[in-house]
């Protein structure tokens, strides 16, 4: 253990001054260009900043207070160099040093510095409060927008990357607003005020900036342009790393069961190395800006001091002849004041350069946030033609007649999933959908719920085209239990009553008894008040499924969708559960997707889907007598059970 630690320390020392890998910089630039090539338009930095400012403008009171404190604190600080000039002038009087005048101006300087410091402290508090409110608003908007995005967005983006935007990116913006924005606001006042004061002292000395400021601007612009793609790539790599970690944490049992810990560690190391290199490349290139700007600003002060000394020493009769020009001389007091103002002028420039990496990181994070917020919502993506004439209580009046007419669908144009599917389900009927894995069974459910818009073909509920229905009303017509269960951190009772506003304790208990989970719940330490871990990690998978089915039993919707709803319970519980669900399904239209064919023998219609097409349909007995694909599935399933 000691040797490993020593080796790591030695390795860190060896790489302390290394340059970032060229591959990291090249990968960042490639990522940047690929994003543009695939149609992702680059957001202008000015647009990102203006959009951030709209969040600040929403809190006018705090923003006005912050601006007031900024102007006041920096305005008071700008008086001190002038007081310094008066103090130096009192020292260089021909009659001798006026100690009382020097003391007077020094005391005023101390007072102004103290007041400026106190105001700056309150400015920091105001900016922290402002940034906290902005971040709260932004995080709330992002979360609400996530819930409005289409299912396809979550299919195409890693959960870890989305979480990274909601947490890391917004935290980065928070840090920048509370710290960097203060520096920029204060610096702007200081730069303008110092420039005005220097102009009143000596225009010849001010001309030095005409040479150094353009150099400073060109250098900073060049470096910023170079590091921008690196910071965008850095945020992207962190999102990828978070996505991988989220994937690994959710698959711990599988990883350990197959003994793949070392393999997953190796893959993590690869992604971790890419993320570290992306961070290192961005920080390395960004760190060049500060020292470079610092050198230019120090050179500016040196030139001002040298030129000012010439104006002070070589002038005769109050002027200095230089290149045929008569330049007004400066006194030692004015020269010292000018240099102090020059330092104040260049200080914010230097400070901004030193925090350029934080600013770039914040703008890249803000760009990722705004890109997410600009993603079209589900209603914008779907070709919705909602009509105002439809009653807002449509879901409460639905009888349950479902018609699927010549329906086709493809997630990608070159890979069709469903081909010309048609089925009619009368109110109270049960339609079962079976077929091999990947045949398109779950896709039918996705289209019924309108998680995706169908291609050619139509779906009608009680004669209404579902594209003409408000999404909320459409989905309120369905109760749905999926194979993948979802429970939240809360009590057992809260989880069962999740979809039923105002459900009583007696109704929750009745639903639990109907699904044969009541006895288990009663055996828990606090019964129905037992708090479950997030996603129900402290109970078995089968028990989670029973709780989700109990939840569905409380929802009095006219159409039920059961997607492998009994796949996680044992055969005995499945039999009891099936009996309970028969009563529940008696007056409702039901769509059942099942691999266990024993659960659908009483279905009014069984659709057999293969390669996206309905190849057989009918009742259980009819399909068995037909001796086709369904019969082979049924016989194969029971043969395997017998052999087992």
Q: What is the DSSP string of 72-110?
A: HHHHHHTTHHHHHHHHHHHHS-TT---HHHHHHHHHHHH
Q: How far apart are CA 485 and CA 375, in angstroms?
A: 28
**Angle (CA) 602 619 610, round 5°:** 110
Query: Which phi and psi (to 5°) does residue 164 adopt?
Result: -60, -40
Question: What is the three-class DSSP state of 605?
Answer: strand
Task: Examine the pLDDT at 36 and tell me if it is beyond 60.
Answer: no
pLDDT at 330: 72
Given a contact cutoff of 8 angstroms between Cβ atoms, the answer to whether 194 and 78 are in contact is yes
Average pLDDT, the chain: 78
Mean pLDDT value of segment 504-512: 87
Q: How far apart are CA 66 and CA 124, in angstroms?
A: 8
Residue 327, Cβ neighbours under 10 Å: how many? 20
Q: Does domain 43-378 have CATH number 1.50.10.10?
A: no
Reported residue count of the chain is: 644
pLDDT at 13: 41
pLDDT band at 78, cuts 50/70/90? confident
Task: Examine the pLDDT at 521 and tell me if it is beyond 60.
Answer: yes
Task: Examine the pLDDT at 514 and tell me if it is beyond 50.
Answer: yes
Residue with the larger pLDDT of the pair 321 and 73: 73
Given a contact cutoff of 8 angstroms between Cβ atoms, the answer to whether 467 and 626 are in contact is no
Q: Write out the residue limits of the CATH 1.20.1560.10 domain(s) in the chain.
A: 43-378
pLDDT at 23: 53
Q: How far apart are CA 549 and CA 554, in angstroms?
A: 9
pLDDT at 387: 47
Task: Examine the pLDDT at 246 and tell me if it is beyond 60.
Answer: yes
Please write the tens of the pLDDT for every residue from 168-218.
888 888 888 777 777 777 778 888 888 888 888 888 888 888 888 888 888
Mean pLDDT value of segment 313-335: 63
274, 225, 249, 240: which is closest to 162 by C-alpha?
240
Beta bridge pairs of residue 618: 606
480, 632, 467: which is closest to 552 by C-alpha?
480
pLDDT at 639: 58
Task: Examine the pLDDT at 388 and tell me if it is beyond 60.
Answer: no
Cα–Cα separations (whole angstroms), residue 84 to 92, 309, 345? 13, 18, 16
What are the residues whose beta carbons fall under 8 Å from the beta carbon of 394, sequence distance 6 or more? 464, 469, 470, 473, 474, 477
What are the residues whose beta carbons fall under 8 Å from the beta carbon of 146, sequence distance 6 or more? 162, 166, 372
Please write the tens of the pLDDT for every residue from 267-320.
888 888 888 888 788 777 777 777 888 888 888 888 888 877 777 766 545 555
Residue 486, both tokens: 């979802």
Q: Write out the residue limits of the CATH 3.40.50.300 domain(s) in the chain.
A: 426-453+470-477+559-644, 486-556
CA-based diameter of the chain, in Å?
125
pLDDT at 115: 92
Residue 75, both tokens: 């305005």
Residue 83, both tokens: 């007081």
CATH superfamily of 426-453+470-477+559-644: P-loop containing nucleotide triphosphate hydrolases (3.40.50.300)
Residue 492, both tokens: 């057992």
Q: Is the pTM of this model over 0.75?
A: no
Pairing of strands 402-412, 458-461: antiparallel
319, 337, 336: which is closest to 328 by C-alpha?
319
Task: Examine the pLDDT at 642 and tell me if it is beyond 50.
Answer: no
Please write the tens of the pLDDT for every residue from 437-496.
778 888 888 888 888 887 788 888 888 888 888 888 888 888 877 777 777 778 888 888
pLDDT band at 114, cuts 50/70/90? very high
Task: Examine the pLDDT at 44 and tell me if it is beyond 70.
Answer: yes
Residue 221, both tokens: 């612009």
DSSP assigned state of 414: T
Which CATH code for domain 486-556?
A: 3.40.50.300
Q: Which of 220-224, 252-256, 310-314, 554-558 has the lowest mean pLDDT?
A: 310-314
């Amino acid at each position: 253990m000691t040797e490993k630690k020593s080796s790591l320390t030695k390795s860190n020392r060896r790489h302390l001054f290394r340059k970032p890998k060229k591959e990291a910089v090249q990968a960042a630039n490639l990522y940047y260009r690929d994003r543009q090539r695939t149609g992702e338009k680059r957001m202008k930095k000015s647009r990102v900043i203006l959009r951030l400012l709209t969040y600040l403008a929403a809190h006018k009171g705090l923003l006005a207070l912050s601006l007031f404190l900024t102007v006041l604190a920096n305005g008071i600080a700008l008086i001190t160099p002038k007081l310094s000039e008066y103090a130096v002038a009192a020292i260089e009087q021909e009659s001798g040093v006026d100690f009382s005048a020097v003391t007077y101006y020094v005391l005023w300087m101390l007072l102004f510095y103290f007041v400026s410091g106190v105001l700056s402290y309150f400015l920091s508090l105001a900016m922290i409060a402002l940034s906290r409110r902005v971040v709260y608003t932004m995080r709330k908007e992002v979360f609400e927008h996530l819930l409005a995005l289409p299912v396809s967005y979550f299919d195409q983006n890693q959960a870890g990357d989305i979480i990274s935007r909601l947490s890391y990116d917004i935290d980065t913006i928070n840090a920048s607003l509370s710290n960097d924005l203060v520096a920029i606001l204060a610096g702007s006042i200081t730069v303008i005020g110092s420039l005005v004061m220097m102009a009143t002292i000596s225009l010849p000395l001010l001309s030095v900036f005409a040479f150094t400021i353009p150099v400073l601007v060109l250098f900073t612009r060049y470096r910023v342009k170079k590091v921008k793609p690196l910071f965008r790539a850095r945020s992207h790599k962190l999102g990828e790393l978070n996505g991988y970690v989220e994937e690994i944490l959710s698959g711990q049992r599988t990883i350990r069961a197959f003994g793949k810990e070392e393999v997953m560690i190796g893959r993590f190391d690869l992604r971790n190395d890419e993320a570290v290199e992306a961070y290192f490349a961005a920080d390395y290139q960004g760190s060049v800006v500060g020292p470079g700007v610092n050198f230019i600003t120090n050179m500016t002060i040196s030139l001002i001091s040298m030129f000012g000394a010439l104006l002070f020493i070589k002038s005769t009769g109050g002027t200095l002849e230089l290149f045929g020009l008569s330049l007004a001389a400066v006194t030692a007091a004015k020269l010292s004041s000018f240099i102090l103002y020059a330092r104040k002028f260049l200080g914010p420039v230097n400070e901004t350069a030193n925090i350029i990496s934080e600013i770039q990181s914040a703008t890249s994070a803000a760009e990722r946030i705004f890109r997410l917020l600009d993603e079209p919502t589900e209603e914008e993506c779907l070709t919705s033609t909602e009509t105002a004439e439809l009653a807002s209580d449509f879901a409460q009046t639905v009888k349950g007649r479902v018609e699927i007419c010549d329906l086709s669908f493809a997630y990608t144009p070159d890979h069709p999933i469903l081909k010309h599917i048609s089925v009619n389900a009368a109110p109270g009927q049960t339609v079962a959908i079976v077929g091999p894995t990947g045949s398109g069974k779950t896709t039918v459910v996705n289209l019924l719920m309108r998680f995706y818009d169908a291609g050619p073909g139509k779906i009608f509920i009680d004669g209404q085209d579902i594209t003409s229905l408000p999404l909320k009303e459409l989905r309120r017509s369905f109760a749905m239990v999926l194979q993948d269960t979802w429970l939240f951190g809360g009590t057992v009772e809260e989880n069962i009553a999740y979809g039923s506003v105002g459900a009583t304790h007696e109704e929750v208990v009745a639903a639990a008894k109907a699904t044969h989970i009541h006895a288990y719940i009663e055996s828990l330490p606090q019964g129905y008040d037992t708090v479950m871990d997030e996603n129900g990690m402290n109970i078995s998978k089968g028990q989670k499924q029973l709780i989700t089915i109990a939840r569905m039993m409380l929802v009095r919707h006219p159409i039920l969708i059961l997607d492998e709803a009994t796949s996680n319970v044992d055969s005995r519980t499945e039999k009891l559960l099936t009996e309970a669900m028969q009563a529940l399904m008696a007056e409702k239209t039901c769509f059942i997707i099942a691999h266990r064919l024993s659960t659908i023998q009483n279905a009014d219609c069984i659709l057999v889907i293969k390669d996206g097409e309905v190849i057989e349909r009918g009742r259980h007995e009819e399909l068995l007598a037909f001796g086709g694909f369904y019969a082979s599935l049924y016989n194969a399933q029971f043969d395997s059970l017998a052999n087992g």
